[in-house]
Amino acid sequence: MSVLPKEVVQEIVKENNFQTPQEIIAFMKESFRDVIQEMLEAELEVELGYAKGENPPAGAENTRNGYAPKTVRSELGPIELDIPRDRKGQFDPKIVPKYSRDVSGIEDKVISLYARGMSTRDIHDQIKDLYGVEISAEMVSKITDRITPEIKEWQNRPLERIYPLIFMDAIHYKVREDGQINKRAAYVVMGVNMEGNKDILGIWIGDNESAKFWLGILNDLKNRGVEDVLVFCVDGLTGIKEAIEAAYPKADIQRCIIHQLRNSFKYVSYKDIKEFAGDFKGVYTAANEDIALDKLCELKDKWGKQYPYAFRSWENNWDILSPFFKYPNEVRKIMYTTNIIEGLNRQFRKVTKSKSVFPSDSSLEKMLYLASMNIMKKWTQRYRNWDQVLNQLLIMYGERLESYVIN
């Protein structure tokens, strides 16, 4: 359906004698400016109670006070406006807000490109090609700063009272600080709720991993409403075990079985790896912990003298490897690997690969937050066979779970 009647369009074409598409765009740009200008005048008329060119009402407390020039960005390019003013400085137009210089959605476009990991140079080129507007690196930073309050609100939002599973990991970046390049870690926490849905619970930017830092994150979760967690699935994160035991003493801590296997395999000769891996399958597929220990002992008798370091980590970390064996297969399929959060980290790396060094913690936080929002939009389905998983967990943790089950 046409916005304008056909007769009006024909009259516009006839009067302007357009020869090129550029002439049409120039006409549209000028028309767009005229419409915006008239809307500004109409807004002030409503605000003050009298129109442009009329005398103010007797006893009026506020009156017109000329104009202020302002250049705004639009999809048709930069547009020069004359913003009407009032003497008291109270007029804040809705069509072009007081501190806004964008009437086109360019800022949303910049944020969208930034979220995809595009460099400031690429963003500059894209916006210039599309809108004829120059966007500097400083302007990109200012535009994306718009989401800072949104990040703070998201990072502090209330969480659910219980999560059957929580995955935790850290991904490392370089950040410039006081003229020096420092290593920083983005600590990522992902939860699976009682409905079987995944959610990124938060991202924290900090220094090297430590029990103190992890405890701060876990206390943050508690302060946001997380009362209980059944299982924390983690990799070999420094200080994580001590922090979890302090914050959630009832929770099981499960180290990633896949990473544990990879750690063992790196000590095994290539010629033996296939046989060794086949033998080890009897350990991590065991029906229970006793059988798993027996299988591990059998493997050590067979391979221990040749590859002693392949078994040392299993023995040293058995307390955080063994919880796996008390769960049924439906639950094991979810918890035996941290690949789900590693997949999340891979997507983070994909959008941050253009940044060898971030100018600040906040710039890193912004990009990871925007990437998280895009990633979570795709998480539309719960875990497969979650009804079976939940029933198994209800049998195992009846008293702890019953009060949280949604009727």
DSSP states along 24-80: HHHHHHHHHHHHHHHHHHHHHHHHHTS-TTSPPPTT-S--EEEEEEEEEB-TTS-EE
Sign of CA dihedral 237, 238, 240, 245: positive
| pLDDT the model gives residue 29 | 67
| pLDDT the model gives residue 338 | 59
| pLDDT the model gives residue 316 | 85
Chunked into runs of 10 residues, the chain (407 residues) has average pLDDT values of: 59 74 72 73 83 84 88 76 87 77 69 73 73 68 78 93 91 84 88 92 83 89 94 82 91 84 86 88 87 89 88 85 84 74 79 79 86 86 87 86 68
Going through 178-238 in order, the beta strands assigned E by DSSP cover 180-192, 198-206, 228-234
CA–CA gap between residue 374 and residue 376 (Å, rounded): 6
User: How many beta carbons lie within 10 A of that of residue 145, not counting itself?
Assistant: 12
Q: In the chain, count of helices (H) and strands (E)? A: 18, 7
- Which of 122, 230, 179, 144 minimizes the C-alpha distance to 359? 179
| pLDDT the model gives residue 1 | 44
| pLDDT the model gives residue 47 | 83
On the 0-12 / 13-18 / 19+ scale of CB atoms within 10 A, 170 is buried
The domain spans of the chain are 1-98, 105-156, 160-404
| pLDDT the model gives residue 153 | 92
| pLDDT the model gives residue 105 | 65
